[in-house]
Structure 1
């Protein structure tokens, strides 16, 4: 339990009483300055943490509160526990002044502390442009709220960069293009209920496009082989990596071509592995996309997103027939390069998965 905190009065713009021990109010940020001012505010309010000054989230909220205070009204929330609450109406049924005693901060102390710190440099008028949700619990509801907010991290499904792709205009365009061909382009994480059309996922599309990109080196392609690398690329839609793969030229047709060719190359490698298992041929199992990269360099990838109505568009269906032979040639060349780099030495599976070794193998293979 927190140390006894002196009473605090807040003026609300909107107030609902949701039972005998639960209040829900909309409160201008300036009304909350006093709660986070004291040097020992975290202790006195029973907050879980002191102010995390260096956290990326607090830096971002500070920027928002300085530059766009009204935006904080959307997500800003503070949850308080109180020993007692007294409501002083202001003549309306949905607002008024609350006198709060025996306070604790169940959730939202980081926001309270940030408001208190910025009050020294921002005007009260500026702070009050941020109108926050404040929930107040008393009695038995206070104990329940404290326990559940302490476990809230167990319930939360945190957002990842992929989750924001559904808003991106290029992705919206691609989804429509796939839909026109009766195909589903899956941007969202998670299981989709019910029957659904065949299609392609954003993860597979990102990797395939990187492998068939016009980049001179496989750095970007290698990043996309794992979800962590793809999420980093999706995190910054204005960054060079994202724009290399998804830009105004990117077409659903190009994505389908890249995925189709990658799948075809991987199928050929599986056949080769069933026939050969010695003399470093495990390279094909541990670094299959290295072979995809090597084969892609022998294809007209500059024309990947070219309209199929363009007379200059490659005849991809005929080129696909050449993939098995190209794959075998490239695979044999890379295995031979590995034998040159490590003659009569033990094959190291982890080594061949790393980007520096990819570059060595490609350079040796010529």
Structure 2
């Protein structure tokens, strides 16, 4: 609170208040129309003692002009309300909910930007659950949103994407106090709306499902065991150097054309290379689905496929 009053007095008092009790209140005008003195008979501080002590101490150090920029919310209760206020503030700490990761998401500028981007397409993005309400029932979860951002980051390795496959990793990346998401993930531009709206990952998964229905041998179970690795590998082939270009920039990717024509071909090519690499690593046909999901094996597969 002291730092706010010293450095950002306009923000002091925006949250929190001082609650005083009094036997009686008297207004003593000073001769002008809008100012005077408020006298309290039998005053007590019900809540906000630390704020009062802080203001009292800093009033001797800070200028009047500086203090004039600060606002303090003061409530004065008298009569029977005074006893009610005292009893409620005594146990108010029992009603306070601790801050949770989802509460931090509500205040995160990246998530607020996502809400605005969804709103531009006349879709509702409920930031606590990621649900979309409206004519279409399809929605995007917070976990899917975070993982999709990591899959399309500029990182040269899949480590970041792999971290977001677990809830703990997603919460780390969504923590606004100490952001760990790369700059390219933290600041998606509205021109990136379609790829960042998780349309690309779902399209890639759709192509993989078609491939799996047509193939059952030569380690074609790999796309089913590690679909996120496939998405990451396909994403590496997109126009990352132009991904964040402004929509009005001539160099901005033609996403409609990419999604409709290029993406299926890129998916089939990446899946084929990774499946052949997996076949080389498992020449005897031994299938270990759990191992394929581990990050070290992702690196081994990408190296064997010449994609690392």
Please indicate the TM-score interval, normalised by the length of the shorter structure.
0.5 to 0.7
Structure with greater contact order relative to length (CA < 8 Å, sep ≥ 6): 1
1:1-366 to 2 correspondence within 5 Å?
Answer: 61-80=1-20, 82=21, 84-91=22-29, 96-101=38-43, 103-105=45-47, 108=48, 111-112=51-52, 114-115=54-55, 118=58, 121-123=61-63, 126-127=66-67, 129-137=69-77, 138-147=82-91, 149-154=92-97, 159-165=103-109, 172=116, 174-175=117-118, 177-179=120-122, 184=123, 186=125, 188-190=127-129, 195-196=134-135, 201=140, 203=142, 204-205=144-145, 207-222=147-162, 224-225=164-165, 226=167, 227-232=170-175, 241-244=182-185, 246-247=187-188, 250-255=191-196, 259-269=198-208, 272=212, 284-285=224-225, 287-304=226-243, 313=254, 315-316=257-258, 317-323=260-266, 325-326=268-269, 328-333=271-276, 335-336=278-279, 339=282, 348=290, 352-354=293-295, 358-366=298-306
Q: Distance in 2 between matches of 1:166 and 1:297?
A: 23
Change (3 A) 1:79 1:245: same
Separation of aligned partners in 2, 1:291 and 1:193:
26
Q: 1:293, CA displacement in angstroms?
A: 0.8
More strand by share: 1
The structure-2 alpha-carbon separation of the partners of 1:334 and 1:130, relative to structure 1 and needing over 3 Å to count, comes to: farther
Q: TM-score, normalised by structure 1?
A: 0.56
2:131–2:140 Cα contact (<8 Å) kept: no
Structure 1 position 72, deviation (Å): 1.1
Residue-by-residue CA offset, 1:3-50 (whole Å, 9 max, x unaligned): xxxxxxxxxxxxxxxxxxxxxxxxxxxxxxxxxxxxxxxxxxxxxxxx
Q: Quick one: structure 1 residues 87 and 163, their matched pair in 2 at CA, closer, same or farther if it must change by over 3 Å?
A: same
Note the C-alpha offset of 1:67: 1.4
Q: How many residues align?
A: 287
Provide the rounded CA distance (Å) in 1 between the counterparts of 2:131 and 2:288.
Answer: 45
1:56-87 residue CA offsets vs partner (Å, 9 max, x unmatched): xxxxx33321112122132231345x4x5332
Structure 1 residue 263 displacement after superposition: 1.0
CA contact (8 A) 1:163 1:189 kept: no
- CA distance in structure 2 between the aligned counterparts of 1:243 and 1:114, rounded to whole angstroms: 42
Partner residue, 1:24: none
Shift of 1:208: 2.8
Give the structure-2-normalised TM-score: 0.65
**Gaps (5+ residues) in structure 1?**
1-60
Alignment partners' CA distance in 2, 1:109 and 1:176: 43
Residue 131 of structure 1 aligns to a residue in which SS? coil
Q: Which runs of 5+ in 2 are unaligned?
A: none
Q: 2:72 aligns to what SS in structure 1?
A: strand
